[in-house]
Structures are given as C-alpha cells and as structure tokens.
Amino acid sequence: MRRFKLKSVWWLVFVAAFTLSACGSDPVEEVLDEVDPPQINYIDNDEELELEMEMEAADEGNDVTGEAEDDDGMIGDSVTDLDGDGEGDGETEEGEAEEKGGPVMETAMLELYLVDKNGLVAPQSLNVPKEDNELKQAVSHLVQEGPVTEKLPNGFKAVLPPGTEILDTEVSADGTATIDFSRQFNDYHPDSELQILQSLTWTVTQLEDVNRLKLKVDGEDLDVMPQNGTPVGNGYTRGHGINLEISGQADISATKPVVLYFLSQTDSQDTYYVPVTRRVPESMNEYEAVVDELLKGPDMMTQLLTDIRREAALVEEPELKNGTLTVNFNEALLGQLDGSAVSPDVLNMLVLSLTEQEGVEKVSVLVNDESDLLVSSGEMLTEPVSRPDAVNAGEY
C-alpha cells in the first residue's frame, strides 16, 4: 500500500512538470523545488499503539494533585499540643531540599506583639528565617511595610512607622535591651504611643536574658516618648502592663497588676488569645486573684470573650509546689459535652494566665480532686500542663 502511494506521487510530479514545460516554464526542477518528498513512518500499527500507551502512562505518573494547605496561623483545639513544639509541621527535610538544589534555610519562631482589629496588642508567633542578631530581627518585624507585611495574620498590623530603621542594638549584663532607631520612629500617631511601647517591650522581653527596654533615636537617649511624653528614661518592662484596664479603685498603691488571657476572634472566626492587665487588691493571694478575675470574665467594654461558665469556682486555695501550681475547681468547669468535658480554650486561658506569675512553670487542673479530665477535643488530661513556647502559633 505504501509503495503504491509513493509511485502515485512521483507520477503526479512528472505530469505537472511536463505540463509546465509545455507552457514554456522551466523543466521539472521548479516543481521538485516546491514539492517535499513524502515522509515515511517506519513504525507499524502495533508499535504505534504500544508507544502511545507508554506515553499516556508516563503522563499519568506525572499528574500530581492535592497541594498541602497552609496553616491558618491560629490556635488549634488539641490540648496535647500545649507544649507548642510544633515538630514536623511545615518543615522541609534537609535531604529533600538538597535534592532540589537549594541550601537548607534555618528558621526560628518569633513571638511578635502586633495590634489587632480592636486596637489590642496581642502575640502572634510567626516562623521567619533565623538571623544572628535575634533582637534586631524581632524589632524589624514590628515595622509597618517591613518584612512582617506578607506574614501578617488577618486583621493584624505592625506598630512602628514605615521606614523606621534599627541603627543599633545592645543587651547589657543586667538584661536591658537598648535599641537605637532612625528619626522615622518619631512619626507615629499619638494614640499609638502605648501600643508601641507595649509591643516593643513584650516582643523583646520574650528573648533570653532580656527583661527591660530602653530607647534611643539617632544615638540620643529617650527620656520621654516623642508624641505624648510617656516617661521611658528608666526603661520599660512588662510590669508596666499590656492592654491596661482602667480600674475604679482610687488607691492604686493598694493594688497589684495581674495578666489575664481572654479570647478574641478574627473576621473569619479564628480564635486567638489576648493578654490584658488588671489590678487586684495587694492583699489577695496572687494565684487565687488570677483565677477569680478569669471567672469574672473580660471587661464589658471590650470585644473579648471567655469560655468559662459563670458557675465555675475554686473549691480550695491554689497550691504551688516545685514549680507546679494546682488549681481545684467544682464540676462547673466541665462546660462541654453535657458537663463531662473541659474546653481546650478554658485550659489555655488558665495556663497562659497562671504561668505569667513568677515561679509557675506548670498548671495542674483538677475537678473535685480528680486529675484525669476529658477534654472536649477528645484527649485525656492526666498531667500538669506547661506554658507553650509560642502563643498563638496556629496550634499548641
């Protein structure tokens, strides 16, 4: 069949050449220049089918679907993750990275204190490339339009004016971190002054051996903040508070501050924890005072929430022993699954708030002296719970 077709083509060429020659054209060469020789396929039908099947199989093998979804950056419900190590989440194996031809990038979890949609300063723990100067890196992520921009959780913003540069950083032997800013630091709105101080202070004091913040601008010490004149000459510490609640008590000297963690939500209903500073009577046991204030709930003037039932109460005074604080509640603490389980949010609020107190490393939560508690997320709580290394890191 192929031979017949080949002879037919050349016969047509010959006839065309003869016709053109008769009309006064050049000989056969003109026609041969315009007609390509036929392409011969030496693969028979069986070989074509086999090759086609092999190519389809190869295509199917390369068709990979189902991309891993990014974490939403908010707290998960698993109490078993309260230690916050996050091992294996989103990390690339070293061998895999090397196979792809790129060096392994070492990262670090930074707890950045940012401003949420309600104007409250709240921690958000983000994974960033690790740098030698951890202090400078942390502060640089508090600059608007800076390196934190693409990582900002929904509804959050950085606090330092755009263009602010960190000229120098230093940590003294007594734990004071001194940061020298460029003049753009002065260009903030006066209403943001306390937010800036709280954000800076709580961000840098998470770092090891840092307990106080001092500020400079262009090499000159700041005695007061540029806009509202808040005194900062002696430095700023966590003792100055965060998201301060205005107390109705006239005699502040007879009170002491405690830090409480309540709930908030993004527009997409993701939950995160917000610290607030509230003053309590100086004479109160500090652990009992923290629990009592948590049971009272957040200030009605805020958008904060709680998951603790009003009927919940301590049945005995908290006891601290070897770094573990034991708090014993009545059955009303079990507000989930028809009163048989405790909410993960309740545990998290208790642990975060109580471990803010000096000397508290773990919290043992009991209900009527019973230590084995069912958590509504499905786990059993059988051991004291430690404070997570990073707050609001997507999951504990």
* DSSP per residue, 348-363: HHHHHHHTTSTT--EE
Residue 65 lies in a domain: no
Same domain? For 233 and 265 the reply is no
Residue 86 lies in a domain: yes
Same domain? For 98 and 226 the reply is yes
Same domain? For 267 and 122 the reply is no
| Cα separations in angstroms, 37 against 5, 6, 17, 18, 41 | 12, 9, 15, 19, 13
Residue 70 has pLDDT above 80, yes or no: no
| Cα separations in angstroms, 296 against 261, 289, 316 | 12, 11, 18
Per the structure, the count of domains in the chain is 3
Same domain? For 197 and 294 the reply is no
Predicted local confidence at residue 249, as pLDDT: 59
Same domain? For 94 and 181 the reply is yes
Same domain? For 103 and 155 the reply is yes
Banded pLDDT at 75 (limits 50, 70, 90): very low
pLDDT tens for 11-51 read 433 434 444 444 444 443 443 344 444 433 333 444 443 43
Residue 393 lies in a domain: no
Residue 61 lies in a domain: no
Same domain? For 191 and 278 the reply is no
Same domain? For 228 and 356 the reply is no
Residue 292 lies in a domain: yes
Give the list of residues 6+ apart from residue 372 with CB closer than 8 angstroms, or none.
Answer: 380, 381, 382
Residue 49 lies in a domain: no
Residue 246 lies in a domain: no
Same domain? For 190 and 264 the reply is no
Distance CA 56, CA 62 (A): 10
User: Which position has the higher pLDDT, 45 or 119?
Assistant: 119
**Residue where a domain terminates, one of 239, 274, 309:** 239
Quick check: 320 and 360 in contact, CB under 8 A?
A: yes
Same domain? For 273 and 235 the reply is no
Predicted local confidence at residue 247, as pLDDT: 66
DSSP state of 275: E
Banded pLDDT at 396 (limits 50, 70, 90): very low
Q: Tell me the two tokens of residue 369.
A: 């002296």
Residue 48 lies in a domain: no
Same domain? For 277 and 197 the reply is no
Banded pLDDT at 325 (limits 50, 70, 90): very high
Cα of 380 vs its chain's centroid, Å: 27
Query: What percentage of the chain reaches a pLDDT higher than 90?
Result: 65
Quick check: 285 and 318 in contact, CB under 8 A?
A: yes
**Which segment, 12-26, 41-55, 92-106, 175-189, is predicted with the most confidence on average?**
175-189
Same domain? For 125 and 232 the reply is yes
The helix or strand, by DSSP H or E, that contains position 109, with its residue range, turns out to be: strand 107-115
Q: Could you tell me the pTM of the whole model? A: 0.75
Identify the domain containing residue 33 by its residue range. Answer: 1-39
Q: Tell me the two tokens of residue 319.
A: 């006891």
Distance CA 370, CA 22 (A): 114
